[in-house]
Chains A and B, each alone.
Chain A
Amino acid sequence: MATVELTFSALPAHVRTARLVATAIARRTGVAEEILDEVRLAVGEACSRAVEAHRLHCPDEPVRIELRDDEGRFEVTVTDVAPSDDVTPRVLAANGNPMPEMAGLGLAVIAGLADDVEVLPGPKGMCIRMSWPASSNGAAATA
């Protein structure tokens, strides 16, 4: 099992970096090209949720993302340490205020995109684990 771990400061600008890293590793792991957009979006949603939670509760703590090649599956775990029971992302209205009716949209998007999703309590905050099929030898990347 090959693992890449990344920690980044809870800044919105770094979410894009996390997306790019996840997409690159997914491609290398053998995730099919037509699924890479889904990986990119789902990882971005999970990281956005974690960054927003950290900015609210613990802005100095980094967000952690693990990317694993797990025997034919590409697995991503995004972990935050924000002490909050609220696992839903804050979606902002045009005036910058949270939109309660849009809460959960990010998780809904993840659920619609990832092949397999679990939202679990982490050591301090939340873990979102999601996975997609990948060729066991990364063959899809070079096919």
Chain B
Amino acid sequence: MDLKLDHHSEDNLTIVDVEGEIDVYTAPRLRELLIDLVNKGNFHLLVNMEKVDFLDSTGLGVLVGGLKRVRAHDGSLELVCTQERILKIFRITGLTKVFGIYSSVDEAKEMHGRDK
């Protein structure tokens, strides 16, 4: 499956819905979207990965790069993911300590609201 990207804003939070495979071929599209969102002043991003079938280190690099960009503006980039096969790659690389990872968009929104 190719990569589908969508996004919408709720209050101060921009939710990025990702569907399909994030790899060396498709990751540049996600990178461009994250850059575009940050350039337009969206500094609190929530990437919903519930429909992601595949993620490799190229995709991880894009997410870490996005995180660095939003942090430069005191922003945040957090993830929604419950799929074990996707979570495994975050655990192997130690990135579970870098990203806030939530089990649902609602849970992430609730935590984001508390932090405001």
Contacts and interface: CB of A to CB of B under 8 A. Distances in A.
Interface string A18-48: 0100000000000000000100110011001
B85 A89 contact: no
Interface in B3-31: 21, 23-25, 27-28, 31
B82 interface: no
A109 B57 contact: yes
Contact of B21 (A16, A45, A91, A109): A16
B56 interface: yes
Given A16-B25, A37-B85, A44-B23, A99 B57 contact: no
Interface in B59-78: 60-62, 64-66, 68-69
17 contacts: A15-B24, A40-B54, A41-B89, A44-B23, A44-B54, A44-B56, A51-B24, A52-B24, A91-B61, A94-B69, A95-B35, A95-B65, A102-B57, A105-B60, A108-B92, A109-B93, A112-B93
